[in-house]
Structure 1
Amino acid sequence: METHTVISKDGTTIGYRQLGQGPGLVILHGAMESSQSHIQLAEVLSPEFTVYLPDRRGRGLSGPYSSTHTIQTDIDDVSALIDKTAATNIFGVSSGAIIAMHACLQLPAVKKVAIFEPPIGVDRESSAQMMQRFDSEISEGKTSAALVTAMKATEMGPPIFKYFPRRLLEWLTTMAMSHEKSPPTSSSHGGDETVAPATFRELAPTLHYDFQLSLSLSDEESISNLREITTEVLLLSASQSPQYLRSAVDRLENVLPNINRRVNFTGAGHGVTGNVDRRGQPKRAAEELQKFFST
């Protein structure tokens, strides 16, 4: 594996990891993730594809978000990477899938895109209220409280968490972060300047921008605009993901005009595409991606 960088339109450095051989495939990670979240998926795909794993802004190898950040900035980052690598395939995970779909509307170089459970169609009013609370807790240094706010809003905690009082959830989150360590990593002969995986404390502030991505596709008009996507699409969902994510894929199935097929990972949750230590099933996810992108 190697690490490289590209400069986006506004001058920000976007770092990415690269491994494998064959046609280029860009994997855009989701919220509370970084380029390392899909390393194992990339390894399975690497015999057939050159896989590019960018760190979205605010993470790892890439520069920070700016005060003027919009979804167009995210598209510019993807565009810079595609211009450099000549990749024509994108796999977008969760909020990364929102970026991928918007990129398809602007970047004709993208020929195929796989979409996994983008958080679209969320209630704008309740989401705005949640974001206000989250931003306030982050600004006050209450990272555990902010993560609990996000976890409850996105239904991403274990099912039993819904029965726990908030104070207990915040304590458990604090304990988890206190034990979270970044394991050392070694450089490869390919010039990999690998950094340790990002921690939850480091990733927490980036959730603000993932919430903004969800709001960009929260009304009927914005979702209807996705009908303009002519790129060939693979839709992916997981049977144990929160209902609103599965419903989002249902809506896309009725909107996107060029769907190759839809695959539902039975018995799996929203983390199915990630590394095994985060309850992922990378081999299972890679099998469907190989079928689609190899055709």
Structure 2
Amino acid sequence: MYRKGSVVSADGTTIGFRQCGSGPGVIVLHGSMLAAQDFMKLAEALADDFTITVPDRRGRGLSGPHGIDYGIEREVEDLQAMLKETDASRVFGLSSGALIGLRTARVTPSIEKLALYEPPLSINGSVPVDWVPRYRRELADGRIAAALVSVLKGLEADRVFRTLPRFILVPPLNLVFRFQREAKGDDVPIPDLVPTMSADMQLVAQLADTTDDYATVDADVLLLGGSRSPAYFGCALEALTGVLARSKRVTIPKLDHSGPTDDGGPSEVAQSLRDFFA
């Protein structure tokens, strides 16, 4: 079970969150095409030792829209508002959530410990983006299943989607999506999450080749990755290891980019986080 709350960000946008547990505060930031619902197993695994706060990032679920001037600045303001509301000093982020945590730590001394799982920090074009125009065209045409396939094939983060042809993948997804327009409780249906990738790719573009910016981060940083993830995530982690003043890198066996989510290996990730945040 979780309790709900919300905070108002600097631009007036409401950021809603789920919260569970007790103890020192930890904020958990989800990545692309995800929402707070995807981190409930991770939150439960840490709840005996920490107060875990999992927001729906803006543009989904309990939170308000992205806004017309969306960018990394708005996401940083959202996280800062959450930190102030919860009095947390620990942050964990997956993927684009890791980018937000990293960028926020540059300007927010109250973040004492920062754990990042595979931030898509593009270095000399390392993160693939050639699929984005097709994905956005499919979104504009209302072809949500096709857009999702374009994302998963383009980012190469899922082995099944990487190898199977589109004509096999799209029809069953269309069928699944018909029954997922109505989600239970506070959950966000998958078809409503697919369009959020567009905003997250805006963050990837905005923060490309900014590695050296993070030399000023004062927090202790844990850099996490899965042994089965695409190589470009490892490139980002390696670059950050060389720049961050106090960092430790851990590779978790048998996990991929979805490792921290309910469908991945949240118990393994929780163990690394528990040791680091303690």
Partner of 1:203: 193
Instruction: Tell me the equivalent position of 1:272.
Output: 259
Deviation at 1:130, TM superposition (A): 2.8
Give unpaired runs (5+ residues) of structure 1. Answer: 186-194
Q: Who is 1:58 aligned against?
A: 59
Query: Are the structure 2 counterparts of residues 129 and 281 from structure 1 closer, same or farther at C-alpha, using a change threshold of 3 Å?
Result: closer
Compared CA separation, residues 14 and 161, structure 1 to 2 (3 A): closer
Whole-angstrom CA distance in 2 between matches of 1:153 and 1:97: 20
1:191 maps to none
**Correspondence for 1:145:** 146
- Aligned partner of 2:227 in structure 1 is 239
Distance 1:126 1:115 in 2: 17
Q: Check conservation: 1:124, 1:215, Cα contact below 8 A.
A: no
SS of alignment partner, residue 4 of structure 2: strand
Change over 3 Å in CA distance of 1:126–1:239 after alignment to 2 = closer
The residue number in structure 2 matching 1:287 is 271
Output the CA distance in 2 between the equivalents of 1:184 and 1:209: 25
* SS of structure 1 residue aligned to 2:194: helix
DSSP 3-state at the match of 1:106: coil
Q: Residues 122 and 215 of structure 1 are in contact (CA less than 8 Å); yes or no, is this contact kept in structure 2?
A: no
For 1:152 and 1:65, the matched residues in 2 are separated by: 25
Q: Decide which moves more: 207-216 or 118-127.
A: 118-127
Residues 129 and 288 (structure 1), Cα distance of their counterparts in 2 relative to 1, 3 Å cut: closer
| Aligned residue type for 1:212 | Q
In the alignment of these two chains, the number of paired residues is 277
Counterpart contact for 2:152–2:162, Cα < 8 Å: no
Query: Which of 240, 244, 250 is the aligned partner of 1:263?
Result: 250
Q: 1:116 to 1:30 in 2, by over 3 A?
A: same
Deviation of 1:169 after TM superposition, in Å, equals 2.4
Q: Counterparts of 2:258 and 2:10 in 1: how far apart (Å)? A: 31
Q: Does 1:31 align with 2:32?
A: yes
Query: CA shift at 1:208, angstroms?
Result: 0.6
Partner of 1:82: helix, strand, or coil?
Answer: helix
SS at match of 1:235: strand
The residue that corresponds to 2:17 in the other structure is 16
**Structure 2 CA distance for partners of 1:125 and 1:268, relative to 1, 3 Å:** closer
Percent identical pairs in the alignment equals 35
Distance (whole Å) between structure 2 residues aligned to residue 136 and residue 16 of structure 1: 31
Alignment match, 1:170: 170
The letter of the residue matching 2:132 is M
In structure 1, how many angstroms separate the alpha carbons of the residues matched to 2:7 and 2:84? 9
Distance 2:92 2:126 in 1: 30
Change over 3 Å in CA distance of 1:122–1:141 after alignment to 2: farther
Instruction: Report the AA paired with residue 50 of structure 2.
Output: F
Distance 2:176 2:234 in 1: 28
- Structure 2 equivalent of residue 85 of structure 1: 86
Letter in 2 for 1:213: L
Which residue identity does 2:197 align to in structure 1? L
The match for 2:48 is: 47
For 1:43 and 1:182, the matched residues in 2 are separated by 25
Query: Which residue type is aligned with residue 273 of structure 1?
Result: P
Alpha-carbon offset, residue 55 of structure 1: 0.5
Matched letter for residue 174 of structure 1: N
Deviation at 1:62, TM superposition (A): 0.3
Please tell me whether the aligned partners of residues 122 and 214 of structure 1 are also in contact (alpha carbons under 8 angstroms): no
Confirm whether residue 100 of structure 1 aligns to residue 101 of structure 2: yes
Conserved? CA contact 1:240–1:268, under 8 Å: yes
- Structure 1: how far apart are the matches of 2:14 and 2:275? 33
Equivalent AA in structure 1 for residue 168 of structure 2: L
Output one character per residue of 1:218-270: Cα deviation in whole Å (capped at 9) or x when no partner.
22xx11111111111011111011111122212211121111x2211111111
What is the CA deviation profile of residues 97-128 of structure 1, one whole-angstrom value per residue up to 9, with x for unaligned ones? 00000000111111110011011116659855
Q: Is the 8 A contact 2:128 2:155 kept in 1?
A: no
Normalising by the residue count of structure 2, what TM-score does the alignment of the two structures yield? 0.93
Partner SS for 2:34? coil
Structure 1 residues 243 and 129: alpha-carbon distance in aligned structure 2, compared to 1, 3 A threshold: closer
Q: Distance in 1 between matches of 2:261 and 2:162?
A: 24
Partner of 2:206: 216
